Structure 1
Amino acid sequence: MLPTRRPSIAALLAIGLMVLPLSGCSPEAEPPEAPPTVVDSHVIRGDNGMAPTRLSGRVKAAERTALSFEIPGEIRRLPLDVGDGFSAGQPLATLVEDRYRLVADQRRAERREAEAVLREKRQDYRRQASLAEKGYVSDTRLDAARAALDTAESRLARTRAAQALAERDLRLTTLAAPFDGSVSRRRVEPSERVGAGQPVLEVISDREGFEVETSVPETLVGALEEGARHRVILPALGGAGTPATLRHLGTQPRSSNNYPVILALDAPPEGIRSGMTARVALSLAAPDGDAALPVPLTALVHDGEGAAHVLRIGDDRRLERVAVEVVSLDDGLARVHGALAPGERIVARGAEFVSAGQRVALLGEGPERYN
């Protein structure tokens, strides 16, 4: 049996050097691509050029006014309370009339005195004129009689006017209803002194129906026209709705550049009251035929300084940033202008957690996946 030869150390090193280059030439394995993020999506639907916008408003009587006395005085009677009805011409409040009655009596006495003086001066003038024709008195004396007669006539005219004013003031101690209606507010109480023109009662009319007052932002003013018909919903009456005609569109803004709008209710539902809250559904025609498209409020990503964008989902499921202009907000929806079209799909919520260029998967499509 021949002895076994063991390899030398030099031979083993040579073999190892030959193996190292071969192992270094093997390609590295690329890391697997991250799974796409699952997002909730929304398909944009068209509005046929009309955008119903809901606003909050308040019901008011179409004819309402604050009543006041034309003269100052102390309130004697104020028999009606808030909510009480009345008829046209019915006394609503009275002042203490003693002083005005005394003044009226004084003016009547002054008129009677002026009438007596006028009769005396008229007789004196006739007598002087007769004597002047016969040459018994001078022209100077006749002129003096004529002047005295003119003065007496002027005095009578003045006292008649003063009497008419005094009697008018006496009548004005009673505040009469200008129309059929009801009391909406009492501004004073009996025994209280009031000045001329100071509001005493606020009243509403039953003859002109009701209207709703609301306000719209400046971006929607151009889409409204007087005479256009919209819809008003009254939550206090179980959500009863009624058509309404736009009667007035303000030309001066209120706070925050909101313009006042008044709509007349065409068919007020039974039980309506002034002061009720209302929801106004305005049908706004999009300007220049460019319809604003509805998107979920949660789809908007605000860029600051009023700018916003949404993320459109392409056919390859990659996201694309689309700048939009918000036209109105309504019940969880925003109506926007931008490079969007009905039928396109956008990220409905969580858009701030994904970015343009990122590949996504749609919630509810394919196998269930958790991020």
Structure 2
Amino acid sequence: MLFFYCFKRHLSSKRALALCAILLCVLLLGGCSPAPEDTTQAPKVVDSYVINGQVSGSMTRLSGRVTAAEKTTLSFEVPGRIETLTTDVGETFSAGEPLVQLDKQRYRLVLGQREAELREATAALNEKQQDHQRHATLAEKGYVSQARLDTVKAALESARSRQQSATAALDLAQRDLNLSTLSAPYDGSVSQRLAEPSERVGANQPVLEVISDRRGFDVEGSVPETLIDTLVTGSRHTVTLPALGNTELDATLRHLGSQPRSSNDYPLILHLAEAPEGIRSGMTAQIQLSLPANSQAPGVILPMTALVYGEGERRHVLRVRDDMILEAVPVEVLALGEKQVEVSGELSAGERIVAKGTEFVRPGQSVSLLGQGPQRFH
């Protein structure tokens, strides 16, 4: 229409005709432009979980590990080269049994030198004692001055000190010779060997790790901070060992840590009343805590994979809203199981959360549920 208007009004003007022709080309080209593409991203498909309901004090299973109630690391107090080390990992021993021996030649030579020094110091002391006795007799008759007697007495005291020093040096040499043999402190077994024969070791360098058989076994684990106030030292609980046919064992809470580990979990140690046959240090254990009624705040049971760890040990889950948009809900962990976790937070029965693959989605993202809705094929 614009073209014909220009043509009618300015028929005699070449300039107007050219302008109208350009406008017509622009309109024609605009009409041939492709339609804009749909850049809307398809919703992410997620595996979800519907919250069943609330529980109170029912999630009390914890993971732990069996350890020896009495264990220690053995090392020499003197340096040297290992001459004998035949004890290996898992082998048992009796209290006082030699486990490792250093080369004793050097310590025997030092002992012989100290014995000779002691004999020499003892002979010198005897000589000074006799000299002092003679001078004391002469001093009584007035043949020796008091100053001379004092000089002889001082020499006697010096000889006595040298003899005492030589005696102490001999005792130390004998002690070092004895310490070149590493003996078992109690009945037990070797848990780790940290040195080999012919190896030179320094003083206090670990050589063997051993565990005792006389005080049984403990189970070490971690308990959430929400349960700290409900546990009492000396209380009885149950421990299950999967490696021994899930045998249930009575255990007593022996220690409850005052400093948290990672994720605000506190260490606890349970002592087993009886050690079943076949138990070994390092075995995994399941701890069933016996908590007082209503001792735990109500929580909900969720899959372990639903937890999302943020900065500063903060945790949350991703709730699926009715409009299929994800939102983060902060939660506090009450108890941990093998595959489930009990948490408290603003969650209700019937709500849906992301159960798996939380690392691939984020709050505010649009999602669709696995197994529901139209399938997309590319």
Relative to 1, partners in 2 of residues 1:73 and 1:180: Cα closer, same or farther, differing over 3 Å?
same
- Provide the TM-score with structure 2 as the length reference: 0.70
- Which residue of 2 is the match for residue 281 of structure 1? 288
Deviations 1:211-233 (A, max 9, x none): 11112233332332221222211
Instruction: Tell me which amino acid in the other structure corresponds to 1:262.
Output: I
SS in structure 2 at match of 1:346: coil
Deviations 1:168-214 (A, max 9, x none): 10111111110000111111011100001111111110100001111
- Provide the TM-score with structure 1 as the length reference: 0.72
CA distance in 2 between counterparts of 1:211 and 1:255 reads: 21
> Retained in 1: the 8 A contact 2:82–2:101?
yes
| Equivalent residue in structure 2 for 1:194, among 196, 201, 219 | 201
- Which residue of 2 is the match for residue 292 of structure 1? 298
Instruction: Tell me which amino acid in the other structure corresponds to 1:175.
Output: L
> Retained in 2: the 8 A contact 1:114–1:156?
yes
Relative to 1, partners in 2 of residues 1:121 and 1:328: Cα closer, same or farther, differing over 3 Å?
same
- Which residue of 2 is the match for residue 243 of structure 1? 250
> Retained in 1: the 8 A contact 2:81–2:199?
yes
Q: How many residues are paired up? A: 304
Identity between Structure 1 and Structure 2 (%):
56
Relative to 1, partners in 2 of residues 1:124 and 1:221: Cα closer, same or farther, differing over 3 Å?
same
> Retained in 1: the 8 A contact 2:55–2:301?
no
Deviations 1:116-155 (A, max 9, x none): 1111100100100100010011111111110110001101
| Equivalent residue in structure 2 for 1:270, among 268, 273, 277 | 277
- 1:236: how far off? 0.8
Find out whether 1:224 has 2:231 as its counterpart.
yes
Deviations 1:248-289 (A, max 9, x none): 111222233322211111122221111111122223447x85
Find out whether 1:88 has 2:95 as its counterpart.
yes
- 1:350: how far off? 7.8
- Which residue of 1 is the match for residue 185 of structure 2? 178
> Retained in 1: the 8 A contact 2:243–2:284?
yes
- Which residue of 1 is the match for residue 132 of structure 2? 125
Q: Which has the larger radius of gyration?
A: 1
Relative to 1, partners in 2 of residues 1:260 and 1:290: Cα closer, same or farther, differing over 3 Å?
closer
Relative to 1, partners in 2 of residues 1:201 and 1:339: Cα closer, same or farther, differing over 3 Å?
closer
Relative to 1, partners in 2 of residues 1:139 and 1:95: Cα closer, same or farther, differing over 3 Å?
same
The 10-residue stretch of structure 1 (218-227 or 121-130) with the greater mean CA deviation from structure 2: 218-227
| Equivalent residue in structure 2 for 1:346, among 330, 350, 366 | 350
CA distance in 1 between counterparts of 2:189 and 2:249 reads: 23
- 1:241: how far off? 1.6
- 1:306: how far off? 4.0
Instruction: Tell me which amino acid in the other structure corresponds to 2:76.
Output: F
Relative to 1, partners in 2 of residues 1:248 and 1:235: Cα closer, same or farther, differing over 3 Å?
same
CA distance in 2 between counterparts of 1:256 and 1:46 reads: 23
- Which residue of 2 is the match for residue 53 of structure 1? 60
CA distance in 2 between counterparts of 1:118 and 1:40 reads: 92
CA distance in 1 between counterparts of 2:318 and 2:58 reads: 20
Instruction: Tell me which amino acid in the other structure corresponds to 1:86.
Output: F
> Retained in 2: the 8 A contact 1:301–1:310?
no
| Equivalent residue in structure 1 for 2:113, among 106, 111, 134 | 106
Relative to 1, partners in 2 of residues 1:290 and 1:122: Cα closer, same or farther, differing over 3 Å?
closer
SS in structure 2 at match of 1:128: helix
Kindly report the root-mean-square deviation, in angstroms, between the aligned alpha carbons of the 2 structures: 3.5
> Retained in 1: the 8 A contact 2:318–2:354?
no
> Retained in 1: the 8 A contact 2:224–2:333?
no
